[in-house]
Amino acid sequence: MNFEFADEAPKLMILLYGLVAFVVVVGGLLFLLDAVPTWFARRRDARLIAASASGGTVTIGRLKPREGVLGLFFLLPTVLLLLIGLVVPAVRTLVLSFMDSDGTNWVGLANYDWMFSQDEIVKVLTNTLLWVILVPLIATSIGLIYAVMVDKARFESIAKSLIFMPMAISFVGAGIIWKFVYAYRSEEQDQIGLLNQIVVFFGGEPRQWLLNAPLNTLLLIVVMVWIQAGFAMVVLSAAIKAIPADIVEAARLDGVNAWQMFWRVTLPSIRPALIVVVVTISIATLKVFDIVRTMTNGNYETGVVANEMYNQAFRAGETGQGSALAVILFVLVVPIVIYQIRNLRKQREV
Amino acid sequence: MAVSTRPRQAFAIASVLGLALTATACGGSDSKNDKADSPECAAYKEYQGHSGKKVSIYASIRDLEADRLQNSWKEFADCTGIKINYEGSGEFEAQLQVRVDGGNAPDIAFIPQPGLLTRFAEAGKLKPVSAETKAMAEKNYSPDWLKYSTVGGQFYGAPLGSNVKSFVWYSPKTFKEKGYTVPTTWDELIALSDKIAATGQKPWCAGIESGDATGWPATDWIEDLMLRTQTPEVYDQWVTHGIPFNDPKVAEALDKAGTILKNEKYVNGGYGGVKSIATTSFQEGGLPITQGKCTLHRQASFYANQWPEGTKVAEDGDVFAFYFPGIDAAKGKPVLGGGEFTVAFADRPEVQAVQTYLASAEHANSRAKIGDWVSANKGLDLANVANPIDKLSVQILQDPKTVFRFDGSDLMPAAVGSGSFWKGMIEWINGKDTAATLTFIEGTWPK
């Protein structure tokens, strides 16, 4: 297809306006962020100067309410947006989950009953469980092993950027890439999928990888691990580098081998970072949607909660059932978030 | 604070600049339509009087087809001064729901699923059409077609484009070389399939992968065979849940489809075994015909757009299609098809004017002239339809003897029609037996 810039002029104009609007809004915000505190500071300075000039004493306490106003000024947009974007929809979803498909009649717990009585949905829940157990475990392990291995190696930065690169790809993009990796063509045709090409190269028969459960779910999990391992590696590598040199040296003097070094020194020292990584990946995994939707759309028994929720609520028009799935997802995420917060508090106290 | 003032100035300048640009963008777009009184606009007299008003249209039609659609109402827009904002989306079905729920409904939507249309109508979101639109629709479409957009006695919009699904694509060239003849009965079709299979080639090719709509091409197979093994009345009962989804009559149709689709000797030419149907995209499903790797491919008229560039679609060309034969001659000539309906979420006069125009024969002809389009509009002049398959489709649609039925999955509630029916078909192709598949689908029918 030919691309005529002249034909696209109206769209390009919209693009230009978009860019200008972006600069205006972001510029305006930065300007406010800079100007408002400066203005407050100037006024305080002026007052201080005026007060000291008149010889009076200046009490710091008198300035507190003003700073409170300043704090409110910054807090208000966040609170407002949280309310509109999080609290209200969450409450509404909860209410809708007790209602029928178009949200008019109360049905009690029927939607939750449906969830656990349909084999399809039970399968979706078990798949999600499989994801949440495997992805954080494998991604963190790979990231950790990689971080330890490349630590102080010769081409450390290059090796690290290689594994970190998938992080820069969106989930949808990753899904499309891996769909090609698993692509199937019959024996008589040229293979376009990497995996089947390898199989054929070794004399095997090409397979339809994404067709058979539970193998297909595992193959989708590989995609998520591929993305998240880089994140785990970067955080853990930083934590490893932050281990005080004297501890490492002391351990060396005590004559530890590499194995003992890893289990007795490295691992305990990076424990907080490790927990952060596992928790973050767990939450991301619970919410996984894009990969499944792009690659199989939950067909062939690969569905997960977020994907099924979307299909029920927006494709099938079963708002109640979709909302119930969303609530379940929320319930599953909450304990992990609470654990994470408590963990952070504990660290701060130490 | 040690912040230099220079960036701040830059931001201030940028802000002012942006405001100025936005201001100029808003002004100066109100042009008077001076064409309104010219002779070529005489046909649009009755729609005039809404100059400068805007109407938004949302549909699933995209890319080339969308450009052609927009061209088809260009003259109307120029002559009436109504600005039509068209937007096509690949996520139409889900996004329409989101937009309507969010209070951001388009003025007009082209909904291809009467099931979805019913849902919006029952929720009170759709506006009933004006008397003019209704008169126009009744003039141009058969009562059959009007029925699909009538909910609770209230008529919501005329059909726009249509398609005919009961086609089997083949290669006239190959048929000539091998001495095959176009089958006109089911038995001849099976005899031909056996004959081809005996040569060691798989006669049929199929593909039902279609992104997040995977499975729909298989539902068309079942619907076509419901019409061929049962009566149209049973088909209607099946679609409206008058008989359960796992009724023996449905099982019969499914098994009949299985004699081709689940026959390892018959499918899947050029792609592999039966299971390869599930992962072969519908766009690529029939392509092995052009490579001589399969001979028959059951797919709708719109598959004409999928052939590689340079393929001649004609009775004496590289590919063509014949009518998917019936099983019992006594049951007539059942035809399965689909189409989209123009419904309105607003009842402003200019919206109604556009809705009326889209139901008119003028629009149907205007769109057909641009190419590759079929409509059940009775006012559509066959001379304006160039593509031979489209011509055949229009003839079938306009033939009063045709027993036409709308795509069943589109009529069913979305939870089944674009949910469990698709999913069930995928699993059925994947090896699940007929009874278990039908029972699963029956279990998901909304109470």
pLDDT, tens only, B339-358: 999 999 999 999 999 999 99
DSSP B57: E
Look at residue B9 in the predicted model and tell me its pLDDT. 54
DSSP B307: S
Q: Does the domain made of B49-163+338-395 have the CATH classification 3.30.420.40?
A: no
Cβ proximity of A220 and A296 under 8 Å? yes
Residues B293 and B171: their CA atoms lie apart, in Å, by 11
Counted across chains A and B, CB pairs separated by less than 8 A come out at: 103
Q: Determine the 3-state secondary structure of B298 from DSSP.
A: strand
Q: Would the CB atoms of B25 and A17 count as touching at under 8 Å?
A: yes
Q: Which residues of A touch B276 (CB under 8 A)?
A: 184, 186, 208
pLDDT band at A249 (very low <50, low <70, confident <90, very high): very high
DSSP string, B323-341: E---S-GGG--EEEEEEEE
Highest mean pLDDT among A6-20, A202-216, B426-440 belongs to: B426-440
Q: Would the CB atoms of A208 and B119 count as touching at under 8 Å?
A: no
Span A188-215, average pLDDT? 88
Span A46-51, average pLDDT? 85
Look at residue A69 in the predicted model and tell me its pLDDT. 82
Q: Would the CB atoms of A35 and B214 count as touching at under 8 Å?
A: no
For residue B15, report the phi and psi dihedrals to the nearest 5 degrees.
-65, -45
Q: Would the CB atoms of A315 and B414 count as touching at under 8 Å?
A: yes
Closest C-alpha among B179, B15, B107 to residue B355: B107
Alpha carbon A220 to chain centroid, angstroms: 17
Name the token pair of A2.
């030919």
Q: Which residues of A touch B14 (CB under 8 A)?
A: 20, 23-24, 27
Task: In chain B, list all ranges with CATH 3.40.190.10.
Answer: 49-163+338-395, 167-336+403-442
Residues B156 and B254: their CA atoms lie apart, in Å, by 33
Residue with tokens 């989101």: B98
Interface residue B12 vs chain A (CB under 8 A):
yes
Q: Would the CB atoms of B419 and A311 count as touching at under 8 Å?
A: yes
State in Å, rounded, how far the first CA of chain B is from the last one. Answer: 67
Architecture label for domain A111-349: Orthogonal Bundle (1.10)
Q: Around A52, how many Cα atoms within 13 Å sit in the side-chain half-sphere?
A: 5
Look at residue B183 in the predicted model and tell me its pLDDT. 92
Q: Would the CB atoms of B418 and A316 count as touching at under 8 Å?
A: yes
Residue-wise burial string across A275-292, b where 16 or more C-beta atoms lie within 10 A, e elsewhere: bbbbbbbbbbbbebbbbb
Residue with tokens 């609007």: A21
Span A244-267, average pLDDT? 90
Q: Determine the 3-state secondary structure of B169 from DSSP.
A: strand
Interface residue B279 vs chain A (CB under 8 A):
yes
Look at residue A90 in the predicted model and tell me its pLDDT. 92
Q: Around A137, how many Cα atoms within 13 Å sit in the side-chain half-sphere?
A: 7
Beta-bridge partners for B83: B54
Relative to beta strand B54-59, strand B108-111 is parallel
For residue B262, report the phi and psi dihedrals to the nearest 5 degrees.
-105, 20
Number of other CB atoms surrounding residue B369 within 10 Å: 16
Q: Which residues of A touch B8 (CB under 8 A)?
A: 31, 34-35
Name the H helices within B230-285. Answer: 232-239, 248-261, 276-279
Nearest to B1 among A41, A210, A316 (CB): A41
Q: Would the CB atoms of B212 and A297 count as touching at under 8 Å?
A: yes
| Minimum distance, in Å, between the CA of residue A283 and any CA atom of chain B | 25
Cβ proximity of A114 and A101 under 8 Å? no
Alpha carbon A9 to chain centroid, angstroms: 37
In chain A, what's the furthest Cα-to-Cα distance?
96
Residue with tokens 């559509």: B380
Closest C-alpha among B111, B447, B100, B239 to residue A101: B447
| Minimum distance, in Å, between the CA of residue B313 and any CA atom of chain A | 21
Among positive and negative, which fits the CA dihedral B126, B130, B131, B135?
A: negative
* Measured CA distances, A253 to A153, A248, A262 (Å): 22, 9, 15
In chain B, what's the furthest Cα-to-Cα distance?
92
Span A301-305, average pLDDT? 91
Nearest to A315 among B93, B215, B270 (CB): B93
Residues A328 and A309: their CA atoms lie apart, in Å, by 10
Q: Is the peptide bond before B268 cis (omega within 30 degrees of 0)?
A: yes
Q: Would the CB atoms of B272 and A34 count as touching at under 8 Å?
A: no
Look at residue B330 in the predicted model and tell me its pLDDT. 79
Cβ proximity of B280 and B209 under 8 Å? yes
Look at residue B26 in the predicted model and tell me its pLDDT. 44
Name the H helices within chain A. Answer: 9-53, 64-82, 88-96, 110-117, 119-150, 156-164, 171-181, 194-201, 215-241, 245-253, 258-260, 267-269, 271-286, 290-295, 305-310, 319-349
Residues A321 and A329: their CA atoms lie apart, in Å, by 13
Interface residue B291 vs chain A (CB under 8 A):
no
**Digit-coded pLDDT (tens) for B354-391:** 999 999 999 999 999 988 889 999 899 989 988 888 98
Q: Would the CB atoms of B19 and A24 count as touching at under 8 Å?
A: yes
Look at residue A144 in the predicted model and tell me its pLDDT. 94
Residues B219 and B207: their CA atoms lie apart, in Å, by 12
For the purposes of burial, counting CB atoms within 10 Å of the CB of B233, is it exposed (0-12), middle (13-18) or buried (19 or more)?
exposed
Q: Around B192, how many Cα atoms within 13 Å sit in the side-chain half-sphere?
A: 21
Alpha carbon B361 to chain centroid, angstroms: 19
The CATH code that applies to domain B167-336+403-442 is: 3.40.190.10
Q: Kindly report the average pLDDT of chain A as a whole number.
A: 88
Q: Which residues of A touch B443 (CB under 8 A)?
A: 118
Q: Would the CB atoms of B413 and A300 count as touching at under 8 Å?
A: no
Long-range contacts of A310-316 (CB under 8 A, 24+ apart): A310/B94, A311/B419, A312/B415, A314/B94, A314/B95, A314/B97, A314/B98, A315/B93, A315/B94, A315/B212, A315/B414, A315/B418, A315/B419, A316/B413, A316/B414, A316/B415, A316/B418, A316/B419
Q: Give residue A264's identity as a one-letter amino acid code.
A: R
Nearest to B1 among A28, A38, A317 (CB): A38
Residue of A nearest to B428 (CA): A300
Q: Which residues of B touch A317 (CB under 8 A)?
A: 97, 116, 119, 413-415
Tally of helices (H runs) and strands (E runs) in chain B: 20, 11
Name the token pair of A169.
């790809």
Cβ proximity of B401 and B434 under 8 Å? no
Q: Would the CB atoms of A17 and B270 count as touching at under 8 Å?
A: no
The pLDDT averaged over each successive group of 10 residues in chain B (447 residues) is 47 50 44 63 86 92 88 92 91 87 92 90 92 93 90 93 92 91 92 93 91 88 93 92 94 94 90 89 90 91 86 89 87 88 94 94 92 89 88 86 88 88 92 92 88
For the purposes of burial, counting CB atoms within 10 Å of the CB of B189, is it exposed (0-12), middle (13-18) or buried (19 or more)?
buried
Higher pLDDT among residues A66 and B381, named by residue = B381
Q: Is the peptide bond before B325 cis (omega within 30 degrees of 0)?
A: no
Look at residue A290 in the predicted model and tell me its pLDDT. 92
Name the token pair of B269.
């030419």
Q: Which residues of B touch A208 (CB under 8 A)?
A: 275-276, 278-279
Cβ proximity of A208 and B275 under 8 Å? yes
Name the token pair of B19.
């405001």
Interface residue B144 vs chain A (CB under 8 A):
no
Look at residue B98 in the predicted model and tell me its pLDDT. 87
Nearest to B415 among A187, A300, A316 (CB): A316
